């Protein structure tokens, strides 16, 4: 993989930092990382600094040479805070979805058992038959 010459990852909705391992692609001749959501500093001391700034265009969170905007601790901390807020919001949505799914499933099942007597008897009969089959299969049948 270190002999890779062309890499085009443009318009892929990539996010996060550019991995330091990309600096090991020494044969890389053409690179395009534009139109993504990349953040952080472009890895320094590598071939990545030899590309034109257009390679990294439309990645508002990127900084460092060859881009004109310098990296400062304020920019990276703001980006990190936004990422943390997004993660917190995602966790809240997952928790709410799980709770809503549980409550809905619970009431669909037990509501049907409560309101429909014939369904209640059918489910209990099925459960008893399955219990009898399992008892016979395991040799625990007591009748």
pLDDT value of position 29: 85
pLDDT tens digits along 47-105: 777 888 888 888 888 888 888 877 765 455 555 666 777 788 889 999 999 999 999 99
> Is the pTM higher than 0.85?
no
Query: What are the tokens at 106?
Result: 């619970």
Q: Which CATH superfamily is domain 6-109 in?
A: Ribonuclease Inhibitor (3.80.10.10)
- Mean pLDDT along residues 95-123: 89
Percentage of the chain lying above the pLDDT 90 cut: 18
Query: In this predicted structure, what is the pLDDT of residue 143?
Result: 52
Residues 6+ apart with CB under 8 A from 61: 37, 38, 39, 40, 75, 79
67: tokens are: 């881009």
How big is the CA angle at 25 (ends 22 and 31), to the nearest 5 degrees? 75
Distances (CA, A) of 35 to 6, 8, 22, 122: 17, 11, 18, 59
| Alpha helices, H only, the chain | 73-115, 117-138
Strands 30-32 and 6-8: parallel
């Amino acid at each position: 993989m270190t002999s890779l010459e062309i890499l085009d990852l443009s318009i892929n909705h990539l996010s996060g930092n550019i991995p330091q391992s990309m600096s090991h692609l020494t044969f890389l001749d053409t690179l395009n990382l534009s139109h993504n959501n990349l953040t952080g500093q472009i890895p320094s001391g590598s071939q990545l600094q030899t590309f034109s700034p257009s390679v990294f265009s439309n990645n508002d969170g990127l900084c460092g040479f060859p881009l004109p905007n310098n990296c400062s601790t304020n920019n990276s901390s703001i980006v990190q805070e936004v990422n943390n807020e997004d993660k917190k919001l995602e966790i809240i949505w997952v928790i709410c979805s799980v709770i809503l799914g549980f409550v809905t499933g619970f009431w669909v099942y037990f509501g049907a058992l409560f309101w429909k007597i014939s369904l209640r008897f059918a489910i209990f009969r099925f459960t008893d038959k399955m219990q009898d089959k399992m008892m016979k299969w395991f040799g625990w049948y007591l009748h």
